[in-house]
Homo-oligomer: A and B are copies of this chain.
């Protein structure tokens, strides 16, 4: 069991009607605010007006960068970084889901960097500093509201690369479950798959984790499995939206990791899928995860899958471990593809094996993914094929 450093100084306002604190929080960091957001949904819902009202009431000057894409692009980072420099922005306000928040993190870093921000990804140039970031979350999925990382796509190179730095951790995040009432069933399902994957990437581990963190991860998974179907059926069920929202933050803010050090497996595989086909990240994860577990199931991994099945899906603990492990994967597939109604194969979403070889090579970074079960390029290609 390794040691670790726990350091998550993000302040969270959780619940309804907390935006009244937005002005006071922004004001702590300066007077010139850059508001970043995606498409027009926050205008339709009235959230945009509510936020502008709070900013103006606080006497702040607001600039805007809209149109941040799902799978956000390096072009938006470039544009935002230039805007921050030109307008001497003091603080960033990201209103959206993971894409907007991820992109805003690198805009905050780009504001302090003279070169091309793509250098943060392909050249791993250190993040020099970052403008303070405040977020208003509109979609429970990536956990970007409480973590220090983000993933950016480069359409020219078909790259989708993640990067993390404590400097980019949001200062304050507003989590109002009622804001997510308008998230449609499909995006709610994809978000749930993303949250589950964040937990599973850590939970499926051959290292020794702290038992208390195992319990917590199982609780988080049970939470998502219990409430995602409720939120799909009753979009304005506060309890469901609230549980999913808080779970999304805790799935990836670093707490559950404890001292474990194994690499993530499904995320690097999925990033290639959305880099090449611009699909929704959570959908890619849902399709990949059961195949990945199937592929990794052996005598080294069976006990963990058994534990998962018994503690999360309430599978009969007297079953032989291998049988229980297989059943747990079946139940996970059923959850993704029946309960949540997500598409279950790559074929269904128009993806064939054309790029599997190059995608597998990129996912492995020319080496092996040292995860739950180490995966080389051929393994990754095999897993992609299982998804057809």
The interface of chain A, by Cβ under 8 A from chain B, is 1-9, 11-18, 208, 210-216, 218-220, 222-223, 226-227, 238-239, 242-243, 246-247, 250, 258-259
- Per the bound structure, the CA–CA distance linking A246 and B6 in Å amounts to 11
The 8 closest A-B CB pairs, nearest first, are: A3-B15, A215-B219, A9-B9, A212-B223, A6-B12, A7-B11, A212-B247, A212-B243
Q: Which chain B positions have C-beta within 8 A of A258?
A: 246
Residues of B within 8 A of A14 (CB): 3-6, 259
Chain B residues whose C-beta falls within 8 Å of the C-beta of A6 in the assembled complex: 11-12, 14
Q: How far is the CA of A218 from the CA of B211 in the complex (A)?
A: 12
**A219 contacts which chain B residues (CB < 8 A)?**
212, 214-216, 218-219
A227 to B243, CA, bound (A): 29
**Copies of this chain, count:** 2
Residue with the greatest number of chain B CB neighbours at <10 A, chosen from A4, A14, A213, A227: A14
Taking the closest CB of chain B, its distance from the CB of A166, in whole angstroms, is 11
A215 to B227, CA, bound (A): 13
Q: Whole-angstrom distance between the alpha carbons of A330 and B219 in the complex?
A: 26
List chain B residues, Cβ under 8 A from A5: 11-14
Q: In the complex the two chains form, what is the Cα distance from A16 to B8 in whole Å?
A: 21
Chain B: minimal CB distance from A203 (Å): 13
| Least Cβ–Cβ distance between A188 and chain B, in angstroms | 17
CB–CB B211/A226 < 8 A: yes
Q: Complex Cα distance A31/B311, Å?
A: 50
25 contacts between A and B (CB under 8 A): A1-B15, A2-B15, A3-B14, A3-B16, A3-B18, A4-B14, A5-B13, A6-B11, A8-B8, A9-B9, A208-B239, A210-B242, A211-B223, A211-B239, A212-B220, A212-B243, A212-B246, A212-B247, A213-B246, A215-B218, A215-B219, A215-B223, A216-B219, A218-B219, A246-B258
